[in-house]
Structure 1
Amino acid sequence: MVQVSESSEQVQNAVRLWHEHRHAPFPSSLRGAECGGMDLVLLDADTAGCVLTWLNNGGTLDLKRIRILQSCIEDLDRVVPEITEPAGTQYYQRLRRLALLVSRTLPRAE
């Protein structure tokens, strides 16, 4: 259950993208694939876990998860341009947009 209390446009966009992401099938051609040395399933799971925690915690993350999300965004920045399969590109571009929306609501972890 999503428990974000803010109703900002940013939060609404994140909730919409999360709904889309949850209902999108993982691209079968990327199952077990690595891109730039990054396991794509793990990158998806780590990013989605941070987003779900943010949604369930009313739009907040602890410092550890902020750092994980920042790392995921850096990994997505490297990986997305290397994915050539259209469904995979769309899937990971949406995941990156979602992670960026969430990160903009958080303090930067140093």
Structure 2
Amino acid sequence: MPNFPMDPRSWGTAPDFEGMAELIADLVPPADAPQRVTSALDTARELLRYAYCRHEFATVAVVHALLALDGRLPDPLPDELAEAVRLRDRLAAGEVTGGVLMHARAVRLVRAVFEAVAQRFPPAPPRTGALREVWQDFLALPYPESYRGVAVAGVELIMVDSAVAGLVSRELAGTLDPEAAAGLWWCVDDLDRAVPLIDETYCAAYFTRLRDVARLAAERHLPTASDRPR
């Protein structure tokens, strides 16, 4: 790796450019996040790395990381995430310049965005885990009351929730036939479209878990080309 020259304003951040990798090593996008989200986070992480060479990149990294939230901020807003939003707004208003933020602080603010995104896209259930155990864990979660009778991206979420429940039960009983398996894949597709548009943290987590359980139940029934959602 080339040893790029240091911006004097970044003095003390790392011993050299290679050392920047250690500062951002824990900034890893959630595996199940959409590509547009991971792209924003990856770019923010690299901006932090190259802030070693150009101090202003640290501030730009914070603003760019916020794109990953699609304007859907958690409530209540954590302190460091609130600070990141204020910084973005002050930059937009011309109240501060791109050099306002020290690198160490920028890393903490970007990390706060990564953590907020991770709450929206929790890890999928382990694919090697027992479906029965994963399903029982899911059944302990209450259905989000605010999403009864609500459609997102044309998807009636409570109907999908009910359909997945019936189809997973059939898979556990060993009675999921090819037609029903195709229906399960349609549910996965519906949830793939709806989940990124849900702006309430618990609801997003609930339907993400529902989608992951549905996929786990369906994965041994690979759909044919005609069965795959389009």
Determine if the TM-score, normalized by the shorter chain, exceeds 0.5.
yes
Structure scoring higher RCO (CA < 8 A, sep ≥ 6) equals 1
Please state whether the residue corresponding to 2:128 is helix, strand or coil: helix
Partner of 2:151: 34
Shift of 1:25: 0.6
> Is there any run of 5+ residues in structure 2 with no aligned partner, and where?
1-126
Give the counterpart of 2:210 among 90, 95, 107. 95
> Aligned to 1:52, which of 169, 194, 198?
169
| Matches of 2:134 and 2:150, distance apart in 1 | 24
Q: Percent identity?
A: 32
Question: Cα RMSD over matched residues?
Answer: 1.5
Structure 1 position 51, deviation (Å): 0.7
Unaligned runs of 5+ in 1: 1-8
2:136 partner SS: helix
In structure 2, the residue matched to 1:10 is 128
Show the counterpart of 2:201.
Answer: 86
| Length-normalised TM-score, structure 1 | 0.81
Aligned CA distance change for structure 1 residues 101 and 93 (closer, same or farther; 3 Å): same
1:25 counterpart = 2:126: no
Report if the CA contact (8 A) 1:61-1:106 is conserved: no
- Residue aligning to 1:4: none
Instruction: Select the structure that is richer in helix.
Output: 1
CA distance in 1, matches of 2:145, 2:135: 20
Per-residue deviation, 1:11: 5.0
Q: CA deviation at 1:88?
A: 0.7
* 8 A Cα contact 1:51 1:102, kept in partner: yes
Residue aligned with 1:10, SS = coil
> For residues 65 and 45 of structure 1, what CA distance do their matches in structure 2 show?
14
Secondary structure of the corresponding residue to residue 26 of structure 1: coil
Contact 1:47 1:99 in 2 (8 A): yes
- Number of residue-to-residue matches in the alignment: 99
TM-score (norm 2): 0.41
Cα distance in 2 for residues equivalent to 1:84 and 1:94: 15
Q: Distance in 2 between matches of 1:48 and 1:80?
A: 18
Q: How far apart, in 2, do the equivalents of 1:54 and 1:99 lie? A: 10
Name the amino acid aligned to 1:101: L
